[in-house]
Structure 1
Amino acid sequence: MPLRYDGKLYRALNPIHAREPLSGLGAEIYGGRFNPKGVPALYTSLSVMTALREANQVGNLQPTTLVAYEAEIENIFDCSDETALAAKGMDVSLLAGATWRDEMKATGEAKTQGFARHLISIGYNGLLVRSFAAGATHADKNLVLWKWADNPPARLILIDDEHRLSR
């Protein structure tokens, strides 16, 4: 059964891309664990610390711009539902697999990307999945969005009341 998420989401961005916090262009160009190349995506987190872990997975902490959003997102696939995962031919070990990049290079699309493509094709706006970043626990969650807009059913609004990013 699809989930609905209402609340804040966080994203830690490279400052070079901070002026476009609603762009999924980087993910679209390069592909990500849960989006094939050609499909824009926003990788957001349910907590600030998870967002920081996700953005700085290699080496030392680099300069980062943290942004927050108000979200009202319907039709989210819940990856913690192991029965629903199994029905889609997935399991937690496949979601967590560290070789998705190699698989993408070798075959053009990793299994997790194919899974995402299927979910998108049947109307999901995103998926809720635990973070697999170093130091993350089962409580650290990400919400990967494939569809977002200014209004429901995939409402995502940047919190920038003081217009700091446009300066």
Structure 2
Amino acid sequence: MSLTYCGKLYRALNPVFAREPMSGRGAELYGGRFNPKGVPALYASTSVHTALREANQVGDLQPTTLVCYRARIEMVFDAADMTAVAAAGLDEASLADPAWRDQMRTTGEASTQRFARELIAQGYNGLRVRSFAKGSGPSDINLVLWRWGNSASSRLELIDDEDRLG
């Protein structure tokens, strides 16, 4: 199921990547739950609290830079549609599987990364999926973006009116 997301999005970034909040470089270098290595992605959340949980999933809170975007993203796959997720060969447990990194190391690609690669090939700009970070619940929502920028179908604008990030 495809939807259009319009609204604000939040990211809690490692300060190493804070000067490039539009790059998706960290996810591209290391791979993420919903992007294989080599594929840039922006992992954003619909709330500040969810963004902070996502960025600090291991141990104590680490230094973090919080950014906000204005977004209008068309062609977003809605993972809340479990019929559509099942048609792709997954279920909620496989979306939430904490062993995705182990899968990536042993087989080269986690099942959720394969799912993302197939969605990208079908023309999706992103994925709306609940957060699986510790302490999150069904109302904690993420948008994983594979295409973003200035185009009408995947517009993402960093809110930095005072040019604080240079």
- Alignment TM class, shorter chain as reference: over 0.9
1:151 positional shift: 2.6
Determine the structure 1 residue equivalent to 2:43.
Answer: 43
- Give the percent of matched residue pairs that are identical in Structure 1 and Structure 2: 67
- The answer for the alignment partner of 1:7 in structure 2 is 7
Cα distance in 1 for residues equivalent to 2:140 and 2:132: 9
The structural deviation recorded for 1:162 is 0.4
- Aligned counterpart, 2:144: 144
Provide structure 1 residue ranges, at least 5 long, that are not aligned to the other structure: none
Distance, in Å, in 2 between the alignment partners of 1:154 and 1:81 is 21
The one-letter code sitting in structure 2 at the alignment partner of 1:76 is V
Partner of 1:162: 162
Q: Please say if 1:82 is aligned against 2:82.
A: yes
Total equivalences in the alignment: 166
User: What is the TM-score normalised by the length of structure 1?
Assistant: 0.98
How far apart, CA to CA, are the structure 2 residues paired with 1:47 and 1:142? 9
Task: For 2:149 and 2:83, locate their aligned partners in 1 and report how far apart those are by CA, in whole Å.
Answer: 30
Supply the distance in 1 between the matched residues of 2:25 and 2:66 (Cα, whole angstroms).
18
String of CA shifts for 1:93-150, please: whole Å, max 9, x gaps: 0000011000000000000000000000000000000000000010000000000011
Match of 2:70 in 1: 70
What aligned pairs does 1:121-132 form with structure 2 within 5 A after superposition?
121-132=121-132
Moved more, 84-93 or 65-74: 84-93
TM-score normalised over the length of structure 2: 0.99
Runs of 4+ in 1 over 6 A off after TM superposition: none
Q: Distance in 1 between matches of 2:132 and 2:2?
A: 22
Query: Would you say the 8 A contact 2:17–2:26 is kept in 1?
Result: no
**Equivalent in the alignment of 2:97:** 97
C-alpha distance in structure 1 between counterparts of 2:120 and 2:67, whole Å: 25
In structure 2, list runs of 5 or more residues that go unmatched: none
Of 147-156 and 111-120, more deviation after overlay is shown by 147-156
Q: What is the root-mean-square deviation in Å for CA atoms of aligned residues?
A: 0.6
Counterparts of 1:153 and 1:108, CA distance in 2: 31
